[in-house]
Amino acid sequence: MKKQQIILILAFLILGTIIFGRPADAAASYLWSDNFDDGKTLSEKYQDVSTNGMSVSSADALSGKYSLRQTYSQGQVDAGWVVRVDNSGFPDHVFMSWAHKFESGFQGFPPKMARIRYRPRSGPNAWQTRFAVHTWIETNGEVALDVVAPDSSQANSTGWLAIARSGFSFADPANIGRWVNFEMEVKLNTPGKKDGLYRLWIDNKLVIERIGVDLRGNTDYKWNEAMLDTYWNGGSPKVQSRYYDNFIISTERIGSAVSTPAKPEAEIIPAADKDMIEKISSAEAGEVFSQTKTISLSVAAKNIYDKIISAGAAAISAENQARISYFIQNGTKTTQVLGAGERGGVVSSFAAAFSRLPQTAADWQDVIKIGNGRWPAQRSAAAEAQAKNGIFKKIYLRNPDMNNAKDNAAVTVIAYGLRPARRNINSEKQAIIIYKNIYGKNPALALDWNIVRAIAYSGAIR
């Protein structure tokens, strides 16, 4: 494939996802979606509202400019809520997600957060809860699903099922002052059978799963309330706020493009002496550059090599082919830890940034720097502009602040593919999910993987 073709395809992929990218609230499976940015009042959208400290606010937002804010006064117990009510009944199997943030410095743990419930809202049994799955916060800060189901054959004498704890805690300071994504799944049982279930994901990670559940006993009640609520048994210790955004109810798994790693591993650029980096990378570049004779590659290395050559190059010289082969198969002292696949990836990242495979000793020095999480000496205005103006904004829904170290790291990683000092496979897995949510496809090209790394390691947030 010709260089120009690749650039065109890349440009199309990036442009295409910006123009045709599916907005988060347009999925066909959504029964309800509210980002609080439509200018409508809460009473226009929710059948049951209490604004006891609750309002649509521009003080913070995950999407757009607005979110739902609960500001507690000191000692406040009774607080705001919004409920989507459907008295004809929601489907028996639903997913409900919301993003939530306790502001920085938030103190204490208000027990209530969200619930899915059935209560008749009129008639002789009005307001009696027949079943409810609550996402609540325990007194120690841990998030739990607490389920009341008086018709269930599995309920205790007061009508509750055994509490299900998540292991995720707001006692961890890393979870305060940031948006956290929650998604509940509830499937009602067939009347008379124990075949219901409930699950909870936090930041796209499954943290609670109960299957074989009886929620409605022999009844065929459907659930009718989807609620965000902020009641605080015990009362708030001070004036403070919490926020909700991106409230979605769906018949399919929603997933999330909103989570950020709890503890970003921002070691994209490991601390090391600058002169030492120059000296080592120069020596290693010299070593690679001196390899001009064709070597026979292992099967695995040959596959990696073939991919790079077929993706990358207008014809390159036999010497340059030999250097690439050598680097993939043998590496250098500082790039051995990467493995052959990642070394191939580093060559691809270089090619994506500079629209050519490495040719000179200076190119190889930059390849080695990228592999070590360092800025390359050469710069690509096109790659940086694309990272700053297009890609960063698509991921983080704002412009990067290049004076902010995390934003700067994100842009640099997107533009050049800098490798982290230490890989964190869990962060990368999460980042791949986020990537798929944003782009609607699996990462494939070098640039895609640069984006995944930026999400996983830069620490930049929306």
Q: Which of residues 280-309 bind Ca ion (CB under 5 A)?
A: none
Q: Does position 35 bind Ca ion by CB under 5 A?
A: yes
Q: Which is nearer to Ca ion, 225 or 245 (CB)?
A: 245
Taking CB under 5 A as the binding criterion, the range among 138-146, 207-215, 237-245, 263-271 that sits at the site for Ca ion is 237-245
Q: Does position 247 bind Ca ion by CB under 5 A?
A: no
Q: Which is nearer to Ca ion, 15 or 59 (CB)?
A: 59
Smallest distance, Ca ion to C-beta of residue 65, A: 7
Smallest distance, Ca ion to C-beta of residue 98, A: 11
Question: Measured between alpha carbons, how far is residue 38 from residues 67, 122, 153, 198, 300 in Å?
Answer: 11, 31, 43, 31, 53
Taking CB under 5 A as the binding criterion, the range among 37-45, 268-276, 299-307, 408-416 that sits at the site for Ca ion is 37-45
| Six token digits for residue 319 | 């010497």
169-176, long-range: CB < 8 A, 24+ apart: 169/140, 169/141, 169/142, 169/143, 170/102, 170/109, 170/137, 170/141, 170/142, 170/143, 171/109, 171/140, 171/141, 171/142, 172/141, 172/262, 174/262, 174/263, 175/102, 175/262, 176/102, 176/104, 176/105, 176/106
Smallest distance, Ca ion to C-beta of residue 421, A: 35
Instruction: Give the CA angle between residues 460, 18, 257 to the nearest 5°.
Output: 45
Q: Which is nearer to Ca ion, 292 or 399 (CB)?
A: 399
Q: Does position 34 bind Ca ion by CB under 5 A?
A: no
Q: Provide CB contacts within 8 A for 431, sequence distance 6+.
A: 261, 452, 453, 455, 456
Q: Which is nearer to Ca ion, 67 or 204 (CB)?
A: 67
Helix (H, G, I), strand (E, B) or coil at 420: coil
Q: Which is nearer to Ca ion, 245 or 284 (CB)?
A: 245
Total Cβ atoms within 10 A of residue 61? 24
Smallest distance, Ca ion to C-beta of residue 258, A: 10
Q: Which is nearer to Ca ion, 99 or 409 (CB)?
A: 99
Q: Which is nearer to Ca ion, 38 or 209 (CB)?
A: 38
Q: Does position 33 bind Ca ion by CB under 5 A?
A: no
Q: Which is nearer to Ca ion, 256 or 386 (CB)?
A: 256
Q: Which of residues 161-190 bind Ca ion (CB under 5 A)?
A: none
- Tell which residue, 99, 184, 174, has the closest CA to residue 397: 99
Q: Does position 36 bind Ca ion by CB under 5 A?
A: yes
Q: Does position 37 bind Ca ion by CB under 5 A?
A: yes
- Tell which residue, 213, 231, 189, 175, has the closest CA to residue 53: 231
Q: Does position 256 bind Ca ion by CB under 5 A?
A: no
Taking CB under 5 A as the binding criterion, the range among 76-84, 85-93, 244-252, 375-383 that sits at the site for Ca ion is 244-252
Rounded CA separation 303/279 (Å): 32
Q: Provide CB contacts within 8 A for 190, sequence distance 6+.
A: none
Q: Which of residues 44-83 bind Ca ion (CB under 5 A)?
A: 61, 63-64, 67
Smallest distance, Ca ion to C-beta of residue 34, A: 8
What are φ and ψ of residue 322, in 5° steps? -65, -40
Rounded CA separation 119/72 (Å): 27
Q: How far is CA 422 from the centre of its chain?
A: 20
Q: Which is nearer to Ca ion, 71 or 427 (CB)?
A: 71
Smallest distance, Ca ion to C-beta of residue 392, A: 19
- According to CB under 5 A, which one of 245, 284, 342, 448 is a site residue for Ca ion? 245
Helix (H, G, I), strand (E, B) or coil at 365: helix
Smallest distance, Ca ion to C-beta of residue 225, A: 22
Do 427 and 261 contact (CB within 8 A), yes or no?
yes
What residues make contact with Ca ion under the rule CB under 5 A?
35-37, 61, 63-64, 67, 245
